[in-house]
Amino acid sequence: MNDDLKAMTDLFEKLSIYHLAQQEMEKAQVNGFNIFTILRKPGEEVALHSRFLAELLSPKGSHGKGDVFQKLFIEQVINNAIGTEEDDWQRSPISTDSNFSCYYENSEDVDGRIDLVLRRNDCAVVIENKIYASDQERQLKRYFDAAKTWVGDEAKVYVVYLNLYGEDVSDWGRGGLANKDYGIITYETDIKNWLELCAKEAFDVPHLRETIVQYKRLVERLTGQTLSAEHKMDIKKLLEQGNNFKLAVEVSRTLESIQLDTQMAIWRELKESLKNRGFTFNYVGSTFEENKQNSAEFFEKEFVKKYYDLRYATRHYGLECHLGDFQNEFGIHFYIQLGHRLYFGFAMSKDEIRGAYAIDGENEELVNLNKIVNVLVGGEPAGKPSVWLGGNIQIPNRMIDMKTIDRKDSHFTDLINPDKRKEWIEETSDQIVTLIKDFNRNCGSLLSKSNFEFFSSNDSNALLSKTQQ
């Protein structure tokens, strides 16, 4: 055993040297310049990815290549994603004899906005584009139903779930749509390979070819494919030596266990840190229906472990603190939730169940509370605004993604180290408590019942005036 540990230590030291060399090479390379990451955040689904993909897929796109890229996409990506087994996506291959019109952020005859649509009289391809965002309620089913009204025949509706690595859509997002009625494609292989084909077709237009290549590099960065061919060969040769490959396999088998333990430590330590600051949080699922006295052991078994089990792929659970009641009807809560990223904000419940409760003009006080919280939270729009009071959520100052652990802007791998995790817990607890105290100061007097002391002030009037400017 001691020999194996020494061999593992030697292996990690050599891999660390390769990793540092790769980082230095990336810094020195002109390839580090990327117009997409200069102008946009790498993970912006609509403003960056959907928009650029739509431009390539449109026969009328400014690329001037007509339907060449679209045909490659239909033939090499969509038709190849159609399955042959009973539980697979069951559709006939699409003919490319006539081209499709292409739209992004399509809202015609649909409850919501479809990221990408390829549409012609006899057929519609509907693409839900996911980089980091969470699924929205019944998303695929709603889009399937909308596309069916366009073409009249559900067999001619092709619903596609595009994401980084080929993860399946959640039950929440599927909305009862059968496996046979949607397919899954990935940035990691499908989009990357298609972009390579597009770049070849653009050989005679250098600026177009280089733009496609830069976007392909962004896709490789998002999917962890930035190792140079030279460094891949170095690592391959290293693993071929002695028992190195066997040791690497043994290490890989422990990674999921380390992720699970780290995630549970984050929840446990964050809960304790907030308790020390005067706020009692409970382990809950997304609707708060679970027993408020859930133990850490129950939470780990029913939620955290299932997060890493492909049979369940549980998401949307976390920590909840009941701040008080509004109009003696709604519970007001602070909720810390895991999608794949960790995020938090204010939520409402009714009869102790969290849900999407209508905020309309008939309840002026609730409308005003919603507007004030929107300003307080700031942050970013929630995937389903009506579930979050104010319609916004905040991300920790140092974001963590528990699914894509090698994501460049995620700090999850740092938190395996107890000292670094403690720093993150303290920092994030301060961010959360500041939000709660701001709510207490501005909205506490609006509650019919508060579980905490609050300071009555005119801040709520000032914030309300700000929302109306």
Q: pLDDT (tens digit, 9 = 90+) per residue, 206-263?
A: 999 999 999 998 998 888 776 665 666 777 777 778 777 777 777 777 888 899 999 9
Sequence-distant (6+) residues with CB within 8 A of 135 are: 169, 170, 172, 173, 174, 383
Query: What pLDDT shows up at residue 464?
Result: 47
* 175 dihedral zone (left: phi>0; alpha: psi -120 to 50; beta): left
Give pairs for 16-19: CB < 8 Å, separation 24+.
18/231, 18/234, 18/235, 18/238
Closest CA to 405 of 393, 397, 415: 415
Residue 74 has pLDDT above 90, yes or no: yes
Query: What pLDDT shows up at residue 456?
Result: 42
Query: What pLDDT shows up at residue 428?
Result: 97
Q: Rg for the chain (alpha carbons), in Å?
A: 25
Which residue has better confidence, 328 or 225?
328
What angle (nearest 5°) sits at the alpha carbon of residue 61, between those of residues 60 and 64?
A: 90
Strands 101-106 and 114-120: antiparallel
Question: Phi, psi (5° rounding) for residue 296?
Answer: -60, -35
Whether 209 contacts 199, CB under 8 Å: yes
CA distance linking residue 173 with residue 136, whole number of Å: 5
CA distance linking residue 177 with residue 17, whole number of Å: 48
In a 3-state reduction of DSSP, which class is residue 293? coil
Which secondary structure element, helix H or strand E, spans residue 324, and what is its range?
Answer: strand 317-326
- In the chain the first and final C-alpha atoms are separated, in Å, by 69
Residue 202 has pLDDT above 90, yes or no: yes
Residue 90 has pLDDT above 80, yes or no: yes
Write down the pTM of the prediction: 0.66
CA distances (Å), 454 to each of 122, 335, 442, 457, 460, in order?
A: 61, 19, 9, 9, 13
In a 3-state reduction of DSSP, which class is residue 241? coil
Whether 429 contacts 437, CB under 8 Å: no
Residue 463 has pLDDT above 50, yes or no: no
Query: What pLDDT shows up at residue 469?
Result: 46
Strands 380-381 and 388-394: antiparallel
Percent of the chain exceeding pLDDT 90 equals 47
Structure tokens at 225: 């494919």
Query: What pLDDT shows up at residue 226?
Result: 65
CA distance linking residue 450 with residue 13, whole number of Å: 55
Residue 371 has pLDDT above 70, yes or no: yes
